[in-house]
Chain A
């Protein structure tokens, strides 16, 4: 594995020299710049100097800062920004890995029912408990349960065949969507229903530092494992027979990848609610920019996904006086942008 890391550095370097320097620089600097700019955006005006001093004050307590600025930077804006970065990266990487695994560019991370499961988990938690942390845990758990049911169903029908897996996922997803509808139907229309609906539309508005910290573990672990398996993922994406003939145990590998993607997606959805489109489209943008090799595609989707959701969240905070749910904006802004990229890059990419 260590050799793998060393070779990766070498290769990354070689790629940088021979190919698009500019693409790599943009991919790396875009999320970094957006990350810092995002601290300046919001109802309460903060100057760049104030932001920097507030951040520094955490490490050097002698620097004088206002307590309002500290609260806004550390307790309001930081968790949101981190959540946008994590959720954006998580959904995008899971989407890229799923598209490779299922050898199908139309697949998104919720194809096996994780989002519907998580939505149901959140809905029952809101209905019966109403504590945000419980909602989060319930969403995460039910996301995992839904995919487990899909996986077991598909295996019992036919040995890990792609089409059966995807169809089972759609069926289980639809089933959980119906369960969500039951929850909505039963919910008190003044107290609980708006909460459920708002959760399902996706929002990062009420995310706390603790929530972000909790979900960062499954997300980072999952992305790391997927990145370690990047080469196998390449081979898997050319088809089952061929990857078997190249020595890959396709069933085992697909199981690991599905497990990772599900963990990542369920974690992301558990704090953000359902955010569509990102996981389907960011991998395509990645392929247009760096090609289908997961060695480059996975890092690219991390950068693009994080940047995209940061941008969208900034808009959702500033567009209107009240917040616009992020799930709406990902589509409203993402669709035209994607169509533009598709027009420009389709020939080279497909």
Chain B
């Protein structure tokens, strides 16, 4: 039994046109799954269905064999952590409070954080090297630092699966690579990761599974080497690319002019 199983998932915003349909995917412990696909193909919507931010029209999603339709939001949150693509901040919470919020699914309805939660929060801050920022408003941090705050929050949530919506999209070149490094480390700690990306290279660097999405469907799920091919990339993105071996265990995908 897989940790997370998506079966025949179909979703529609308006009941007329499906955003995606008949999606199947299995995620095992320690997997890093990267979903690639052009803008508007339904990646973000699919990812939001995993923790019930949207509800499927047809099909099922199972965590540990349990259908998420029958699980409360709180229990889903104890299994799945989520980092959104965009975060619009209204109130200037401190970094510490922001990370502490990750503990929320572990509280009863009327409960507030306690000693143990403060401890876990501090450990998470230290793990990502942002402990010194803990009393600062997180709105005053740079994009890279904010991303680390979200990672720390999601780790203090202690999930088994991490869902990341374009985790590298607002980051500079260096921070993109640092983020991928964090993702690999979390995977080696036994957390399964599902992320969307616009960079085939990022799948080569961090993933062991790639799902390629086009026209509302997965057109292939396999290792990065098998999916990220010249033919597939030209089919999905409509551009010319070259897949190059840069060292024995590392390929890269470079766009070229026709």
- Which listed residue, A10, A230, A245, A295, touches B51 by the CB 8 Å rule? A245
| Interface residues as binary, B133-151 with A (CB distance below 8 Å gives 1, 0 otherwise) | 0000101000000000000
Selected from B53, B72, B80, B111, the residue in CB contact (under 8 A) with A241 is: B53
Contacts of A293 in B (CB 8 A): 93-94, 97
A4 near B101 with CB under 8 A, answer no
| CB atoms of B102 and A7 under 8 A apart | no
Interface residues on A, range: 35 or more
How far is it, in angstroms, between the C-alpha of A287 and the C-alpha of B102 when the chains are bound? 22
B70 to chain A, nearest CB (A): 15
Cα distance A249–B107 when bound, in Å? Answer: 13
B173 at the interface (CB under 8 A from A): no
On whether the beta carbons of A234 and B82 are closer than 8 Å, the reply is no
Tell me, yes or no, whether A13 is within 8 Å of chain B by CB.
no
CB pair B93–A239 under 8 Å, yes or no, is: no
A238 touches B51 (CB 8 A): no
Binds B, one of A41-49, A98-106, A110-118, A306-314: A98-106
- A230-B112 contact given A235-B104, A246-B105, A248-B73, CB 8 Å threshold: yes
With an 8 A cutoff between CB atoms, is B65 at the interface?
A: no
> Chain A 222-244, CB within 8 Å of chain B: the 1/0 string?
00000011111011011101111
By beta carbon, the residue of chain A nearest B107 is: A231
Once bound together, how far apart are the Cα atoms of A242 and B94, in whole Å?
17
CA distance A187 to B111 in the complex (A): 51
Bound complex: CA of A230 vs CA of B107, how far in Å? 13
Find chain B residues with CB under 8 A from A129 CB. Answer: none
B98 contact set on A, CB distance < 8 A:
238
Which residue from chain B places its CB closest to the CB of A19 in the assembled complex? B135
**Interface window among B83-91, B122-130, B225-233:** B83-91
- In contact, B90 and A104 (Cβ under 8 angstroms): yes
Q: Are B73 and A241 in contact (CB under 8 A)?
A: no
Instruction: Known contacts A239-B88, A350-B92; decide if A245 and B81 are in contact (CB<8 Å).
Output: yes
B132 to chain A, nearest CB (A): 15
Q: Does A119 contact B (CB under 8 A)?
A: no
Chain B interface category by residue count: 35 or more
Q: Mark B154-195, 1 if CB is under 8 A from A, else 0.
A: 000100000000000000000000000000000000000000
The answer to whether A231 and B112 touch (CB under 8 A), given A241-B48, A241-B53, is yes
User: What residues of chain A lie closer than 8 Å to B113, measured between beta carbons?
Assistant: 7, 231
- CB pair A246 B157 closer than 8 Å: yes
For A287, the closest partner residue in chain B by CB is: B91
B102:A246 contact, CB within 8 angstroms: yes
- Asked if A8 lies at the interface with its beta carbon under 8 angstroms from chain B, I say yes
On chain B, the residues within 8 Å of A1 by CB distance are: 110-111
User: Quick one: given A7-B115, A8-B112, A242-B84, are A247 and B92 in contact (CB under 8 Å)?
Assistant: no
Tell whether A244 pairs with B101 under 8 Å between CB atoms, given A7-B112, A230-B112: no
Q: Within 8 Å CB of A291, what residues of B?
A: 92-94, 137
Is A338 part of the binding interface, using a Cβ–Cβ cutoff of 8 Å?
no
Residue from A7, A235, A245 within 8 A of B82 (CB atoms): A245
Query: Does B91 contact A292, Cβ atoms closer than 8 Å?
Result: yes
- Taken residue by residue from 1 to 13, chain A's Cβ proximity to chain B (1 for < 8 Å, 0 otherwise) reads as 1011001101000
Binding site for A on B (CB under 8 A): 48, 51-53, 72-78, 80-82, 84, 87-94, 97-98, 101-102, 104-105, 107, 110-115, 137, 139, 157
A-B contact pairs, 23 of them (CB 8 A): A3-B114, A4-B112, A7-B114, A8-B112, A105-B90, A228-B110, A229-B110, A231-B104, A231-B111, A231-B113, A234-B97, A234-B101, A235-B104, A238-B87, A238-B91, A238-B98, A239-B88, A241-B84, A244-B51, A247-B73, A247-B76, A287-B92, A292-B92
